[in-house]
Homo-oligomer: A and B are copies of this chain.
Amino acid sequence: MSQTGVRAAQRMATRERIVSAAIDVLRSNGVAATSTLEVQKAAGVSRGALLHHFPTRKDLVRALIDELVRRNEAVVDTALATAAGDDQVGRAVHALWAAAQAESALLEMDLWHAARSDDELRTALIDAERAAGRDLTRVVARAFGVEYAGNPRLPLVTSMTLALIRGLSTGQVLRTSTKAANQAIDQWVSLAHELLNPTAKGSS
């Protein structure tokens, strides 16, 4: 590797270390306490190095969100690859529900929630989620598979699935069991089936 290449690789490694540290701090301290100073300490880098990569807290928050979104997408892909059953709608919804329980998804929800009373965070989130929204639509479309690509009701089923999963996830904090939520998911799978395959039921 050339000296320039080595320096670029070192810069990238430092940047990744800072973003990973930011996620650790977010997990341990919560959003409000995720300051550039705390992240700098956790990453073990100099103030100069931190400010070189992230001149403002907003830059850091933006990178943190991008990383969470990237991890979320990876979790959905893994969940899809391991989801059981032959039914593609069931596999897709169950994989999305499983992915919503992953830490990266829960931390992202923490950010959304904190954004209600934090304008800087909200601005960063809106920017990051605009790009992520397109990715998510792509991931969900892939989850439902070729069979439903172009199905006119797929956008409805997609947005309902995501809203339902977010709502169940929020309620889950008060539950000691996932039974009720799993039941709701199963019922939604069967409804989503009817929506995507109207003839399968109505015309019989």
Contact = CB atoms under 8 A, between A and B. Distances in A.
A159 B184 contact: yes
A52 B159 CA distance: 49
A138 interface: no
**Main DSSP-derived SS at the A contact region:** helix
Copies in the complex: 2
A88 to B, nearest CB: 20
Contacts of A141: none
Contacts of A191: 191, 195
Nearest to A187: B156
Interface of A: 30, 32, 106, 109-110, 112-113, 115-117, 122, 125-126, 129, 156, 159-160, 162-171, 173-174, 180, 184, 187-188, 191, 195, 201-202
